[in-house]
Amino acid sequence: MAATEFGRTVRRWRDRVSPEAAGLPAGGHRRAAGLRREELALLAGISVDYVTRLEQGRAANPSEQVVEALGRALRLSGAEREHLFHVAGLVPPGRDTVPAHIPPSVHRLLDRLTGTPVAVYDAAWTLLLANPLYAALMGDPSGWRGNERNGVWRNFAGPGSRVRHTPEARRAFETAVVADLRATASRYPADQRLRRLIAELRANSDRFAELWDSGAVGRQESARKIVDHPQVGPLTLDCDVLSVAGSDLRIMIYTAEPDTEDAERVALLGVLGTQALVEP
70-121 per-position pLDDT tens digit: 999 899 988 999 999 999 998 888 888 999 999 888 988 888 898 999 999 9
Going by C-alpha positions, the residue among 116, 136, 115 that lies closest to residue 274 is 136
154-176 per-position pLDDT tens digit: 999 999 999 999 999 999 999 99
pLDDT at 257 over 50: yes
Class of domain 104-272: alpha beta
188: buried, middle or exposed (CB in 10 Å: 19+, 13-18, 0-12)? buried
Q: What ranges do the domains of the chain cover?
A: 2-87, 104-272
Q: What is the mean pLDDT of residues 38-51?
A: 89
pLDDT at 277 over 60: no
pLDDT at 278 over 50: no
Q: In the structure, what pLDDT confidence band is assigned to residue 279 with cuts at 50, 70 and 90?
A: very low
Q: What's the confidence (pLDDT) of residue 237?
A: 97
Q: What is the CA radius of gyration of the chain?
A: 19
Query: Which helix (H) or strand (E) segment is 91 a member of?
Result: none
* Residue 107 · residue 75 · CB < 8 Å: yes
* Residue 208 · residue 180 · CB < 8 Å: no
* Residue 159 · residue 107 · CB < 8 Å: no
> Number of H helices and number of E strands within the chain?
12, 6
Q: What's the confidence (pLDDT) of residue 228?
A: 96
pLDDT at 280 over 60: no
193: buried, middle or exposed (CB in 10 Å: 19+, 13-18, 0-12)? middle
* Residue 244 · residue 103 · CB < 8 Å: yes
Full-model pTM: 0.82
Q: Do domains 2-87 and 104-272 have the same CATH topology?
A: no
CATH number of 2-87: 1.10.260.40
